[in-house]
Amino acid sequence: MDEHRASRQQQSPRRRLTADDWADAALAALGERGLAGVAVEPLATRLGTTKGSFYWHFANRDALVVAALARWEEVATERIITAMEAAEPDPAARLDALLRAAAASASQNPLDVRLLAAGDHPEVAAALARVTERRVGYIAHLFELLGFPPAQAHHRGFLAYTSYLGHAQLAHATPGAVPADPEYLEAVATLLRS
């Protein structure tokens, strides 16, 4: 082994990439450039590896898209719900925190908007349906805990979720159009709760 190669191996041991690393990179690319941004070679470059690493974990790009969508469901829905449940025992305070966080984050991350734009892709459509059902269901559950009848709680959950999506869409289509000041965020949360 030559000295240069030995020196490189000692300085930077390479970490073996996981399927989640690839899925996270695919999600980042999807958020930046849409579904078309999920391409193996650019992702390999982004991760500092070769296409061989990709094929170690996935049979093809479609399998990566499926894995990325599963990561999105886990990270952007299930983990948030779990964190909300753990952080706040009071359903009213939990709902308030969730509504404020959703309104504040609507303009920060374009991923949901990009996924909506790719809703004609069968795997994306299926993931959107699952996530929509889960998110609306969770918000409706919080409204039920506050004493609203199930049908009314579901309507409020649906309205809250579609408000979030509308905020996100407008914020990315027309930057600066959606206010981000604390008074506005409080008004949105209050309106949806009442």
With contact defined as beta carbons under 8 Å apart, do 87 and 43 qualify?
no
Together in a domain, 92 and 172: yes
Residue 171's pLDDT is what? Answer: 85
Q: Is the pTM of this model over 0.75?
A: yes
76 DSSP assignment = I
Q: Report the alpha-carbon distance of residue 193 to residue 28 in Å, rounded.
A: 32
For the chain, where are the alpha helices, taking DSSP H only?
A: 3-11, 19-33, 40-47, 51-57, 61-73, 79-87, 91-105, 111-117, 122-145, 150-173, 182-193
Q: Is the pLDDT of residue 7 over 70?
A: no
Residue 182's pLDDT is what? Answer: 75
Together in a domain, 182 and 128: yes
Output the CA torsion sign for 101, 104, 107, 108.
negative
User: What is the average pLDDT score of the chain?
Assistant: 88
Q: Report the alpha-carbon distance of residue 116 to residue 78 in Å, rounded.
A: 19
CATH of the domain at 44: 1.10.10.60
- Give the residue, 92 or 182, on which the prediction is more confident: 92
Together in a domain, 117 and 184: yes
State which residues form the domain around 46: 14-68
Together in a domain, 117 and 193: yes
Residue 14's pLDDT is what? Answer: 61
Nearest Cα neighbor of 160 from 179, 175, 138 is 138
Together in a domain, 164 and 92: yes
Together in a domain, 131 and 181: yes
The answer as to whether 81 is a domain residue is: no
Together in a domain, 114 and 182: yes
The structural domain count of the chain equals 2
The answer as to whether 7 is a domain residue is: no
Together in a domain, 43 and 108: no
